Amino acid sequence: MKPSLVKGTRDFGPEQMSKRLFIFDTIRATFKRFGFLPLETPAMENLSTLTGKYGDEGDQLLFKILNSGDFAAGLTADGADQPPLHSKALLPRIAEKGLRYDLTVPFARYVVMNRHALALPFKRYQMQPVWRADRPQKGRYREFYQCDADVVGTDSLLCEAEIVLMVHEVMRNLGIEQFALKVNNRKILTGIAEMIGMPGQEGALAVAIDKLDKIGQDKVLDELRGRGFSEESLTALMPIFSVEGSTDSVLARLKEWLASSETAQRGIAELQETLQLVSQYGLDQPKTELDVTLARGLSYYTGAIFEVKALGVSIGSISGGGRYDNLTSAFGTSERLSGVGISFGVDRIYDVMEELSLFPADAGQGTAVLLVPFDADGRAVALPLLNQLRQADTSAEMYPDLAKVKKMLDYANAKRIPLVVLIGSEEVQTGQLTVKNMLTGVQEKLTADELIAFVTRS
């Protein structure tokens, strides 16, 4: 049987992994600089932990794991005289576990289970794969990595400001200079729903508005009509489609438009304070944009909402997050623990950087020096040198077989190894090693000490 991959999943070869590790290392370094601690949770969670946290659509995208053993024992087979078993009724009987859909819900579960041992506010970062039973397409996979940073146990808007700062640091350290960090607040969306006479319908409102870029204003309005929004409500909603300009001007227009909604005014005030804190920090050339149509994670976000898009590429958001006030209460705890976080999608970031050729030249570099002994005597010289190079923190290897020189040089080219050290009888006798630069073809003679000094300088 010919081997194949599950649709929506990918293998990553050494060169791809080197580039992915560059992304991971860059994001991890930023998380650590901002005081976040590492955490990992199992790939599997109880379905009772996952379901009901992402809305109906999210629940449908959960990968379920069949119970071990004879999971179908005792189930009634469908027959002409028996009604078919509905999948929702069948599921609890054959599957109790599922693959995690994101890292936020498992984090909330961890916090509830370990609350007694955590010093609040608790700041954690987590870099692990997640799974979604989605239809694969460009930039959308069934298995992908997320890099999350969350802080739980505080309402301080300084945490939102720090997320803005982290996004800028990560993007710029990755070399993604052209990006937009869109911000909004769930309270503003709630206030809009109240103001147009549809209180409690901000979810339906947001789902339709979120499609504005894809389907246009007219079709958004048609969808809202289909969801039961009256013409009067839609007329009152029209200003949302023309609220644009600088952040200050948008906030001023929102204040005026939503003056009758106390909830919206709180959301506007939170955004203003967050952006003021960012300004006080001294962020250079911020890429923040206030987007009142931004809606994501509305099944659990209650305050700030973030979304990051790279400009100049046809790939969706590469990062997103927000404030959630009630996630831990879903696990039966009476203590209200507010949290806020951001998630970076490594797979989409990789695609962006590949498309824009943003990876540094050495991001995929593995071995820096290849030792090529011609015979047993050359190998006796090469082995201690190999040890010295590695102790000098240089990635080095020795060709394992005593083969023809051309074969060994071809190996170096195939692995893009920049320096090859040739060790034949002359090199053994004189102690002068032949060092060949595989990029330029230039050869020079160096002693072992000179070689060590050369590679550590470069």
150: annotated binding-site residue? yes
Ligand-binding site membership of 104 (annotated): yes
Residue 10 is labelled as binding a ligand: no
Q: What is the pLDDT of residue 326?
A: 76
At residue 91, the pLDDT reads 74
Q: Name the region of 154 (left: φ>0; alpha: ψ -120 to 50; beta: rest).
A: beta
Residue 176 DSSP one-character state: -
What pTM did the predictor assign? Answer: 0.84
- HSE-up (13 A, CA, CB side) for residue 200: 1
| Rounded distance between C-alpha atoms, residue 268 and residue 247, angstroms | 11
Q: Which residue has the higher pLDDT, 313 or 88?
A: 313
CATH level 3 topology of 369-457: Rossmann fold (3.40.50)
Please indicate if the annotation marks 135 as binding a ligand. no
pLDDT at 83 over 70: no
Q: In angstroms, rounded to a whole number, what is the distance separating the alpha carbons of residues 317 and 144?
A: 14
* 301 marked ligand binding residue: yes
Give me the chain's average pLDDT, please: 89
Does 334 have pLDDT greater than 60? yes
Q: Is 103 within any annotated ligand binding site?
A: yes
| Residue 296 labeled ligand binder | yes
| pLDDT for 82 | 56
Position 294 scores a pLDDT of: 86
- Give yes or no for residue 79 having a pLDDT over 60: no
Give the lowest-confidence range in 41-50, 222-231, 293-302: 293-302
pLDDT tens, residue by residue, 155-202: 999 999 999 999 999 999 999 999 999 999 999 999 999 999 888 888
Mean pLDDT of 28-38: 97
Query: Which pLDDT tens digit goes with each residue over 359-400?
Result: 987 776 788 999 999 999 999 999 999 999 999 999 999 999
**84: confidence class by pLDDT, cuts 50, 70, 90:** low
Q: What is the pLDDT of residue 87?
A: 64
At 336, the pLDDT band (50, 70, 90 cuts) reads confident
Q: Are 267 and 185 within 8 A, CB to CB? A: yes
